[in-house]
Amino acid sequence: MIRKSALLLIAFPLIFVACKGPAPVEKSTPITPDQIVLQLRLLDENILKVQAEDPTTPNGQMLVMPRTINKDGSLSLCSTGDWTSGFYPGVLWYMFEMTGQPEWKEKAIKYTATLEDEQFNGSDHDVGFRMFCSFGNALHLTSNPDYIPVLVQSAKTLIARYYENVGCIRSWNFNQENLQCPVIIDNMMNLELLFWATQKTGDSVYYDIAVNHALTTMKNHFRPDNSSVHVVDYDTISGEVRQKNTHQGYADESSWARGQTWGLYGYTMTYRFTKNKDFLKQAEKIADFLLEHPNLPDDMVPYWDFDAPGIPDEPRDVSAAAIMASALYELCTYSEKGDIYYHQANKIMESLSSTYASAPGENYGFILGHSVGAKPTDSEVDVPINYADYYYLEARVRKMDLMAY
Ligand code: GLY
């Protein structure tokens, strides 16, 4: 969440790099705010229909949040423990922020409440995604103090995964035969919860861990061309890097699109809280890697991996585009290249709102289609995904704030 801040003048014409790659679907009229309302009302109805069947995971956990569309065409719900469970409450909070309508606030409160126990879920680093997108937005929009202890406990849960010798928060617990302290670039996103926790409590422990994590990641995740690897595994005793790989990308040396955008968003947000120019420079370097990449299509919606072998016949990842747009709307307020970043974000949003938006009544009510979860495992390829909708709405809110300034 950023609030209105000084926006640099953004009136200069842009020089675009000529890029290749056709859009995969036909152009349509841009989705309107009213159509977004109708889509999300439809999604809510569809969730209730699936919930009426009392669905559970194989472990017996209730399925509560919409996540995507299954291969058989059915609506996929996830449990509160899923890494994406915070995004649907966050979507509802952004709808309340945009419309001011109580219907969205009521739904947002209801779905946010289902996540309360997740404040203690330290089984991975995703407590930041789960809790800050839901409870974080809830606190911001309602100022209800009941949300504060839940968020502070969530931050405590997250820092319990910090390895002093490494200088990073451990991301995953699985594959312990091969990995000691795996840290994924996505983990940059969870730092916002920690920066908030120091602001709220006055205890610098959260801030210090967040800064160390960002510094260690800056040192070890990035390649000379400013792209990032997905996973860096560290030795928990010596803190040395043991191995690097790109679990969700095409190859270890490739640039997985969403990972690049997590980095862009993460370093932009880290600059917001620290005002350390090294973090701003890192965010600019990532932005320039993305925006100047020869494989970024003209419509600015990346292929799922910048090095995917079948480009231009590879699926796009709309979620990466939405994260990139939202991050660029923040970065443009800090950077001397703000005019470029602002206009590029607008271009991404125009594509998402037209070419990649669901037709009215389609996709169970998800706003956008055409995201990729994990192509190497053929999981969630070219489908709607909750986090694409979340960052798309966040980008719309950020743009509205910039225009109102
Ligand atoms: N954080 C997991 C993903 O981006 O797929």
**CB-CB neighbours of 186 under 10 Å:** 23
Assess whether the C-beta atom of 375 lies below 6 angstroms from ligand 1. no
pLDDT for the residue 66: 98
Pocket test for ligand 1, best of 83, 133, 247 (most atoms within 8 A of CB): 83
- CATH number belonging to the domain at 33-403, selected among 1.10.10.10, 1.50.10.10, 1.10.10.60, 1.25.40.20: 1.50.10.10
Phi, psi dihedrals of residue 315, rounded to the nearest 5°? -65, 145
pLDDT in the model for residue 88: 98
pLDDT confidence of residue 27: 53
| Interatomic CA distance for residues 356 and 368, integer angstroms | 6
Any atom of ligand 1 within 6 Å of the Cβ of 82: no
Q: Where are the domains of the chain?
A: 33-403
CA distances from 152 to 50, 132, 201, 208 (A): 33, 10, 8, 15
Say yes or no: CB of residue 330 within 6 Å of ligand 1.
no
For 66, list phi and psi in degrees, rounded to 5.
-70, 135
Q: Is the CB of 258 under 6 A from ligand 1?
A: yes
Q: In the prediction, which pLDDT does 2 show? A: 59
Residue 253 CA to residue 88 CA, distance in Å, equals 33
Distance CA(9)–CA(31), nearest Å, equals 28
Q: How far is the CA of 186 from the centre of ligand 1 (A)?
A: 6
Cα separation, 64 vs 75, whole angstroms: 11
First and final C-alpha spacing in the chain? 16
Q: How far apart are CA 132 and CA 351, in angstroms?
A: 28
| Rg, the chain, Cα only | 20
Q: What's the 55 CA to ligand 1 centre distance in angstroms?
A: 24
DSSP string for residues in 201-225: H--THHHHHHHHHHHHHHHHSB-TT
Residue-level pLDDT at 10: 40
* Contact predicate 66/43, CB 8 Å: yes
Whether pTM > 0.75 for this model: the answer is yes
Angle between helical axes of 386-404 and 87-99 (0-180°, round to 10):
30
Inter-residue contact 66 to 91 (CB < 8 Å): no
How far apart, in Å, are the Cα atoms of 398 and each of 5, 302, 318? 10, 21, 18
Q: Ligand 1 centroid to 306 CA: how many Å?
A: 16
Low-confidence ranges of the chain (pLDDT < 50): 3-22
